[in-house]
Amino acid sequence: MIVENLVFYTFSAILLVSSIMVISARNPVHAVLALVATFFLGAGLFVLLGAEFLAMTLVIVYVGAVAVLFLFVVMMLDISFAELRQGFLRYLPVGGLVGLVLVVELVLVELHWTVTPKVLDKPAAPIPPSDQVSNSHALGHILYTQYFYLFQASGLILLIAMIGAIVLSLRSRAHVRRQSVAAQVGRQTADAVAVRQVSTGGGV
Amino acid sequence: MASFWTFVWPLIVIVAAIVAIIIPVLIGVAYLTYAERKVMSAMQRRQGPALVGPLGLLQPVADGLKLFGKEMVIPSGANPGVFLFAPFLTFVLSLVAWAVMPFGAHLVLSNINVGILYLYAISSLGVYGTIMAGWASNSRYAFLGGLRSAAQMVSYEVSMGLIMVTVLLCTGSFNLSEIVLAQQTVWFAVPLFPMFVIFFISILAETNRAPFDLPEGEAELVGGFFTEYSCMNFALFMLGEYSNMILMSAIAVVLFLGGWLPPLNFGPFAPIVNLVPGPIWFALKIAFVLFFFIWMRAAFPRYRYDQLMRLGWKIFLPFTLLWVIVTASALEIFGWLPAVVP
């Protein structure tokens, strides 16, 4: 128990520090790297909670794909952070409000659990004991039975987002030389080479 | 005192186990560089390293010592923190993945439920070492190499993930030991042969090996993302690359070639092949896959970048996606779905 607490506080402390670095770092690339560290430590906290499936998914999706694209964009584009900072005071109230709403929600949930602990006995989906069912099986069971339609709907939304991204970024440009492998492979000697008798000095 | 030892004793055991895994891996890395040079020289009718020690066997040691003696250079425009962290990250990531690798029945450091996801997560982190090195060097060549590598590794990871899904459909478990045990009747390389071939090509691309070694394509990019690295930083990148090769081969062996299970395990052969312990079979199979890595490098010219992207996105991705559906349908229709805990 002592070891677990020690690990938890170490992870949370570094997580808080790196998440502050995300918004305070001067160099945008450092900010993204701090974001990666934040995701990774978040995954560590999930592992401590016994939610290893969520932890691995967090690392695969956010660290392995999303943050790589962030890093890509930040490195490629010449973003001047000084310029971005100019609107700081103007957007502070809106950002602060969103942050406040999130904090209030968290506090409400926590209060709810502390004030009426009985609500924990009546969850929407019963949590199977973790020593009998691994949490990937448990999650799959709930997703594919109870929440099947919602799961499908979220898949469809993602599909629409993907098609939208393709439509927005697809443009056909003239003068682009593309390789057609089928045409190259299907090419015969007869199509490509013509044998001519050329008279001396006559040219082709 | 008793409570003190209940904490310390497991710690000692785990550290000893980690050392017992890492030392053979590092020796394997050293001799993989030697094997690569020897095999390629044999294929090209040359001698290869032959001067240091008998048959040149001490060549890796000499190379390591030489790199220790070099001067460490940090370019003036570089970002020192990230510059030094990148090779370290590459090297560490190539070693931590071994934690879940099953070397034999019950012979595994950490037998976690989500082993295969852990491996996938660690291999998807590998891209950071390259992209950070490329950016922090503050050099055009290194930056282009880093960007190429990032795009390449992200592209091929997608089809690798789908291939893992087909294997998982056949086993019904994320646990690596259970994946190996599911192959007792037939190795997955037989029924899923196309997936095995695509997986092998994908791990070539994932480890930046020829014919997909564009991030370090010396013809156009000098040395790619490690152009600016010297001394032990460079050595860490090299160790990371070769250790990643061994790791990816080990993943291929676990997923498709039956892990530690002996080949020809039937009829008259069974008593003979079972004389050899499982970890030895595991190592031999890894060596077999690694030989193909080296063979590919000796046999094929480097891909062009657009061809690489075309292969990843337009051929492998649709094909693996289709194969996931085919496998799932076959398992469902013939009732071969693995028994799953409720």
Please report the ipTM that was assigned to this predicted complex.
0.82
The rounded distance, in Å, linking the Cα atoms of B117 and A43 is 13
Interface test with B, best of A68, A72, A159, A176 (most B CBs within 10 A): A68
A197-201, B174-178, B284-288 — most confident range: B284-288
Which tokens sit at B47?
């001698």
The DSSP call for residue B107 is B
Question: Domain spans of chain B?
Answer: 1-69, 77-333
Question: Per-residue pLDDT tens for A7-42?
Answer: 899 999 999 999 999 888 888 888 889 999 999 999
A56 with B120: Cβ contact below 8 A: yes
A141 with B342: Cβ contact below 8 A: yes
Q: In A, what residues contact B, Cβ < 8 A? A: 3, 27, 29-30, 33, 36, 52-53, 56-57, 59-60, 63-65, 68-69, 71-72, 75-76, 132-137, 141, 179, 181
User: In DSSP terms, which residues pair with B107 in a beta bridge?
Assistant: B104
Q: In chain B, which residue's Cα lies nearest the Cα of A138?
A: B342
**Mean predicted confidence (pLDDT) in A175-193:** 84
The rounded distance, in Å, linking the Cα atoms of B302 and B10 is 48
User: Which residues in chain B are contacts of A65 at CB distance < 8 A?
Assistant: 124, 154, 157
* A122-to-A27, A127, A199 alpha-carbon distances in Å: 48, 10, 97
Closest to B208 in 3D by CA, of B253, B151, B276, B287: B151
Give the closest of A52, A72, A134 to B150, CB-based. A72
State the smallest CA–CA distance between residue B117 and chain A in angstroms.
6
State the smallest CA–CA distance between residue B33 and chain A in angstroms.
29
Task: Label residue B48 left, alpha or beta by phi (over 0 means left) and psi (-120 to 50 means alpha).
Answer: left
A29 with B135: Cβ contact below 8 A: yes
Question: Per-residue pLDDT tens for A111-160?
Answer: 877 777 777 777 777 777 767 777 888 888 888 888 899 999 999 999 99
B125 with A63: Cβ contact below 8 A: yes
The rounded distance, in Å, linking the Cα atoms of B287 and B251 is 12
**pLDDT greater than 90 at residue B50:** no
B127 with A68: Cβ contact below 8 A: yes
Whether pTM exceeds 0.90 = no
Confidence of residue B342 (pLDDT cuts 50, 70, 90): very low
